[in-house]
Structure 1
Amino acid sequence: MKHFRNLYYIFIPIIAVCFLPDLFAHPVTAGKYSIEQYLSIKSASSPSFSPDGREIAYLTNVTGTSQIWIVDISSGRTRQVTNFEDNVSFVRWLPDGRLLFGKARGGDENTQFFLISSKGGNARQLTGDSSVRNNFGAVSRDGKFVFFASNKRNRNYFDIYRMDVDSGEEKILLKDDGNNSVAAVNDDGTKIIISRSGTEKSLDNDLYLLELHTQKLIHLTPHEDASEFSDPHFVADGVVMASNSGREFSALLNLKKKNAAIDDWSNENLSAGILDAPKWDVTDISMNHNGGKIVYSVNREGFSELYFLRAITAGKPLITVFSKKALKIPLPERGIVAGPTLSRDESKMAFAFSSPVRNSDIWIYDFRSGKISQITKSDRSGIDAKTFVSPELITYKSFDGLSVSAWFYRPIGADRIVAKGNSSQNREGATFIRAARVPVIVSVHGGPESQERPGFNPLYQYYLSRGFAIFAPNVRGSTGYGKYYTHLDDVRNRED
């Protein structure tokens, strides 16, 4: 990582360049590809294994909207399953071979659920009120029930529902005037974990255990500071999850029952232990029902690192024990992992991967061989991948001395052109080089509680091909740099 101590002196020219490009020479490179080509670059994401692990259903926008396709892992042959005008938002392969998916109409974000054969054909709609928003949560292990949140009762709040996949019959499990979502379902579908967003703090939520037989709701995560609890998975004697409660970064936690012989989920019978606590956020946890592996990602300065722990469930009463050492899974290069998922027999894991110079595609990791392989190859619209640019991570000091990181993309050739009289000294006597000046686009991410990460951005690559540099800071309030940093823009601090 490079440190830009005098960014104040270069930041003013950056803003000026954005508004006064006439002051500078023509761009360093002349792009030969059109904006239409860059915006036509395709991607693949959201992998879901078939029950036998031989195929993967995934989403790709190869036809212009995100649709379901299936790829045969051994041969690489693909086939299209859906062909709607609207984007498909998720897909899950059910144990009986059918595909469950969701899509909204006309971009209204009111997702409805559908069933379709993996061979294609007509889809059967499961939810029908287009004015209602349904947020998918989980499928029971036997594939007979779908658990989800919906604002059917009151458009301002999300209740929890269970649907019988075959009959379409819905049952409301929890009525609550809040923002609820289904986070996990246990093996036999008798217990679910519900995530409820906080109302007084930003980036704050709680997890609750709902026992369906008794309708008892148990608060699993009492806390005082603004904290996040995410990606919970049931194990034999508790729950694994990611959380930054009482910490700067989200760690991989195991919430265990002290006495596993009794069905007591009260806080008096629970204890929390850390499975992995890197100095970065743990995200994207994936685990099968009482599986033998748990996979998770670590967001290290924006790049993903992928790890797994082995799990053994045995004893009487049953308890789950995890290995102490996490094993690292190789990736194609430095980039971003999304949607890791394990095959039913846990011999393979699929995930979507992208980087600054790679559009998103589906990859597979084979646990037996220890090798990764790319199984989809999304079209780059005729653009040579060698023309794509990777950024460098820099840091600079803000007005109060706070260190801020940013991604800086240099157009090809900009680092090789140096102006005449190319060296001078600053006030401290340090010598520096004046590189050729190029127009710079300052790109500040939205949210504001979000993070600029080095994934594939076709619009960035277009402007880079036209000689523009890109400066993309993670301003205070961004996620990924610890809880303290994220809350630096709360309320009155937003203007900082």
Structure 2
Amino acid sequence: MKTSIKIAFLVVALFSGPAILADVSRTELNNGNLVLEDIPDIPRSVVADLNRYQNVRSAGFLDWTPGGESIYISTRFGDVSQVHRVDHPGGARHQVTFFDEPMGSVQRQPGGTRLVFTMDAGGSEFSQIFLLEPGSASDAIMLTDGKSRNGSVVWDRAGKRIAYQSTRRNGSNNDIWMMDVDNPETAHIVMQSRDGTYWSASDFSPD
């Protein structure tokens, strides 16, 4: 009797197995690297609802304008963050930069209107330092060599020179360099860092 029951269960399993498998919805994505079984399609309405939470813009304070009447902020209208000027609380944002890449740090020239900022290309993380006169028709000027990684920019009190971190010497060490922004050829090392160390300029001395 027990043997007959076992055989009956085996026959049912053999014939019902293919039928069960045939009812499974199977979808392969990414050239077969992702296999979905019995997972329903996601309604387009869910995607639209999620966009309200994923496409949230933020704004960060960068610096004051020379007279202190307005501020510079970093925010985005499109896909990348750019510099904007806001003239009063709750005021409209006036876009200052229009680049295809997001900008990194931004510092205004002491006693002047020019901005220095860092920006890489295509997410390479090899940021270059640029000089820009807001509101002018001139393009931003690249101050660094276009190959090394640069950052941690500090203006001197006169608004003529900058100190910054750069790997220009050998492509790896974070040395500290200095240059006159009106003459990038004056760039020179003021401190060579040892292997495996991280140095950056903090400020200029009063003199």
Q: Cα offset for 1:100? A: 1.2
Which amino acid in 1 is paired with 2:190?
Answer: L
Name the SS for the 1:36 alignment partner: helix
Instruction: Check whether the contact 2:82–2:98 (CA below 8 A) recurs between aligned residues.
Output: yes
**Match for residue 58 of structure 1 among 65, 69, 73:** 73
Q: Cα offset for 1:37? A: 2.3
CA distance in 2, matches of 1:32, 1:109: 31
Pair 1:181-2:197 in alignment: no
Does the C-alpha gap of structure 1 residues 41 and 155 become closer, same or farther in structure 2, counting only changes over 3 Å? same
CA distance in 2, matches of 1:77, 1:40: 20
Name the SS for the 2:148 alignment partner: coil
Instruction: Check whether the contact 1:134–1:150 (CA below 8 A) recurs between aligned residues.
Output: yes
Larger RCO: 1 or 2 (CA < 8 Å, sep 6+):
1
Does the C-alpha gap of structure 1 residues 75 and 40 become closer, same or farther in structure 2, counting only changes over 3 Å? closer
**Match for residue 49 of structure 2 among 12, 29, 34:** 34
Question: What do the CA deviations read for 1:186-235 (whole angstroms, capped 9, x no partner)?
Answer: 233xxxxxxxxxxxxxxxxxxxxxxxxxxxxxxxxxxxxxxxxxxxxxxx
Which amino acid in 2 is paired with 1:61?
Answer: R
Q: Cα offset for 1:146? A: 0.8
**Match for residue 143 of structure 2 among 126, 130, 146:** 126
The TM-score normalised by the length of structure 2 is 0.69
Q: Cα offset for 1:117? A: 1.6
Instruction: Check whether the contact 1:159–1:175 (CA below 8 A) recurs between aligned residues.
Output: yes
Q: CA RMSD in A?
A: 2.1
Q: Cα offset for 1:158? A: 0.8
Instruction: Check whether the contact 1:114–1:126 (CA below 8 A) recurs between aligned residues.
Output: yes
Does the C-alpha gap of structure 1 residues 34 and 125 become closer, same or farther in structure 2, counting only changes over 3 Å? same
Name the SS for the 1:185 alignment partner: coil
Q: How many residues align?
A: 158
Q: Cα offset for 1:143? A: 1.0
Does the C-alpha gap of structure 1 residues 118 and 75 become closer, same or farther in structure 2, counting only changes over 3 Å? farther
CA distance in 1, matches of 2:191, 2:129: 20
Pair 1:82-2:97 in alignment: yes
Name the SS for the 1:88 alignment partner: coil
Other-structure match for 1:106: 122
Q: Cα offset for 1:85? A: 1.2
Instruction: Check whether the contact 1:134–1:151 (CA below 8 A) recurs between aligned residues.
Output: yes
Q: Give the structure with the higher percent helix.
A: 2
Q: Cα offset for 1:32? A: 9.4
Q: Cα offset for 1:60? A: 0.6
Which amino acid in 1 is paired with 2:65?
Answer: S
Instruction: Check whether the contact 1:54–1:74 (CA below 8 A) recurs between aligned residues.
Output: no
Residues 150-165 of structure 1 mapped to structure 2, 5 A cutoff: 150-165=166-181
Q: Cα offset for 1:185? A: 2.1
Which amino acid in 2 is paired with 1:100?
Answer: V
Q: Cα offset for 1:156? A: 2.3
Instruction: Check whether the contact 1:46–1:90 (CA below 8 A) recurs between aligned residues.
Output: no
Question: What do the CA deviations read for 1:132-187 (whole angstroms, capped 9, x no partner)?
Answer: 10022311111111111111112221111011111112021011223211122223
CA distance in 2, matches of 1:117, 1:73: 21
Unpaired runs of 5+ in structure 2?
1-45
CA distance in 1, matches of 2:152, 2:47: 43
Other-structure match for 1:470: none
Larger Rg, first or second structure (1 or 2): 2
Instruction: Check whether the contact 1:59–1:90 (CA below 8 A) recurs between aligned residues.
Output: no
CA distance in 1, matches of 2:47, 2:198: 48
Other-structure match for 1:478: none
Does the C-alpha gap of structure 1 residues 185 and 35 become closer, same or farther in structure 2, counting only changes over 3 Å? same
Other-structure match for 1:67: 82
Question: What do the CA deviations read for 1:12-58 (whole angstroms, capped 9, x no partner)?
Answer: xxxxxxxxxxxxxxxxxxx8962222221111114201121011112
Question: What do the CA deviations read for 1:259-296 (whole angstroms, capped 9, x no partner)?
Answer: xxxxxxxxxxxxxxxxxxxxxxxxxxxxxxxxxxxxxx
Question: What do the CA deviations read for 1:409-467 (whole angstroms, capped 9, x no partner)?
Answer: xxxxxxxxxxxxxxxxxxxxxxxxxxxxxxxxxxxxxxxxxxxxxxxxxxxxxxxxxxx
Q: Give the structure with the higher percent strand.
A: 1
Other-structure match for 1:145: 161
Instruction: Check whether the contact 2:65–2:71 (CA below 8 A) recurs between aligned residues.
Output: yes
CA distance in 1, matches of 2:153, 2:142: 17
CA distance in 1, matches of 2:112, 2:160: 9
Name the SS for the 1:96 alignment partner: coil
CA distance in 2, matches of 1:166, 1:32: 50
Name the SS for the 1:34 alignment partner: helix
Does the C-alpha gap of structure 1 residues 141 and 73 become closer, same or farther in structure 2, counting only changes over 3 Å? farther
CA distance in 2, matches of 1:47, 1:101: 11
CA distance in 1, matches of 2:47, 2:90: 35
Instruction: Check whether the contact 1:137–1:184 (CA below 8 A) recurs between aligned residues.
Output: no
Instruction: Check whether the contact 2:118–2:151 (CA below 8 A) recurs between aligned residues.
Output: no
Q: Percent identity?
A: 29
